[in-house]
Amino acid sequence: MRERIYRSEALIVRRSDFSEADRLLVLATPAGKRRVVAKGVRKTSSRLAGHIELFTHTALLLAVGRNLDIITQSQVLDSFSALRGDLSGLGGAYYIAELYDKVTEEQEENRPLFDLLVTTFTTLDAGVARDLVLRAYELRLLDIIGYRPQLHRCPICQELLTEEANRFSPTLGGVLCQRDGVADRAALPVQLATFKLLRYLQQQPFEVLNQMQISVGVRQEAETLMRAYLRHVLERDLKSVAFLEETLRSNAT
Ligand SMILES: [Zn+2]
């Protein structure tokens, strides 16, 4: 049988040891998530090893294998070296990758999600405030996978939300209008500035993040709301959330 070779752009989201000298990689690609093998890369003589680091954006050449495809070449497009340099960036990277991993199935084509992943890593690597990058990422990702939180119309009555709305319901998936604010007793308080921030992040391109001046209280509330909503959507917490919180202090913005 002739070996079949193909090219793929990828971002390496997870990595583990596999047999004695190999590694198993989980890749985000425009064609979806896939698991592949990098052979011999745990040997010091491996030339491929330096080109398949975790969180690297790369152009790969792969050979179709019997079970798992095999990486034969890797050309690094971006190694995101700045975010590797500090714990805050690294904590963010783990969180971004884990969230992608949790919401995707293997081999399910999704170009927008892949593009979002690369944009998010690029923005974080450029030194933009981590929490704002993560909020923008979460909102876009939820949109792409069909869980866009409702921030314009009340999820119960579908009426346009006014500035008086002040309750966010993770279960109902959005901000409730004043009349329906009591419908979910577990709904969380949301101040107007936070409501506006989330709406803004849901729509604006990542380029605006660098110019934003948002108070700490509003940013913390946005995080609380998004964490609660994601917990509802995913039905669990992500492992990297603990690391994210540990590395919060090194994020001096
Ligand atoms: Zn309503």
User: Which of 78, 93, 113 is the endpoint of a domain?
Assistant: 78
Tell me how far the alpha carbon of residue 147 lies from the centroid of ligand 1, in angstroms: 19
Q: What pLDDT does residue 242 have?
A: 82
pLDDT at 53 over 50: yes
pLDDT confidence of 20, banded at 50, 70, 90? confident
Give pLDDT tens digits for 152-172.
999 999 999 999 999 999 999
Residue whose tokens read 């690391």:
243
Give pLDDT tens digits for 106-130.
888 999 999 999 999 999 999 999 9
Tell me how far the alpha carbon of residue 154 lies from the centroid of ligand 1, in angstroms: 5
Asked if residues 93 and 121 have their Cβ atoms less than 8 Å apart, the reply is: yes
Residues 124 and 66 in one domain: no
Tokens representing 77 are: 């497009």
Residues 60 and 100 in one domain: no
Residues 165 and 58 in one domain: no
Q: What pLDDT does residue 99 have?
A: 96
Tell me how far the alpha carbon of residue 138 lies from the centroid of ligand 1, in angstroms: 24
User: Which of 42, 58, 78 is the endpoint of a domain?
Assistant: 78
Tell me how far the alpha carbon of residue 156 lies from the centroid of ligand 1, in angstroms: 5
Residues 25 and 102 in one domain: no
Helix, coil or strand: residue 206: helix
CATH number of the domain bearing residue 23: 2.40.50.140
Tell me how far the alpha carbon of residue 236 lies from the centroid of ligand 1, in angstroms: 27
Tell me how far the alpha carbon of residue 82 lies from the centroid of ligand 1, in angstroms: 45
Q: Where are the beta strands (DSSP E) in the chain?
A: 5-18, 22-29, 32-38, 57-63, 69-78, 167-169, 174-176, 188-189
Residues 62 and 87 in one domain: no
pTM: 0.93
| Helix 87-103 × helix 130-144 angle, to 10° | 10
pLDDT confidence of 240, banded at 50, 70, 90? confident
Residues 21 and 41 in one domain: yes
Residues 42 and 152 in one domain: no
Tell me how far the alpha carbon of residue 118 lies from the centroid of ligand 1, in angstroms: 37
Beta strand 69-78 with 32-38: parallel, antiparallel or unpaired?
Answer: parallel
User: Which of 61, 78, 95 is the endpoint of a domain?
Assistant: 78
- Residue 70 lies in domain: 5-78
Cβ neighbour number for residue 136 with a 10 Å cutoff: 25
pLDDT at 145 over 70: yes
Tell me how far the alpha carbon of residue 146 lies from the centroid of ligand 1, in angstroms: 21
CATH number of the domain bearing residue 164: 1.20.1440.120
Tell me how far the alpha carbon of residue 137 lies from the centroid of ligand 1, in angstroms: 27
Tell me how far the alpha carbon of residue 180 lies from the centroid of ligand 1, in angstroms: 5
pLDDT at 77 over 80: yes
Residues 116 and 210 in one domain: yes
Torsion sign across C-alpha atoms 8, 10, 14, 15: positive
> What's the total number of domains in the chain?
2
Backbone angles phi, psi at 86, to 5 degrees: -135, 155
Residues 94 and 14 in one domain: no
Residues 158 and 67 in one domain: no
CA distance 133 to 121: 9
Residues 129 and 104 in one domain: yes
Tell me how far the alpha carbon of residue 185 lies from the centroid of ligand 1, in angstroms: 14
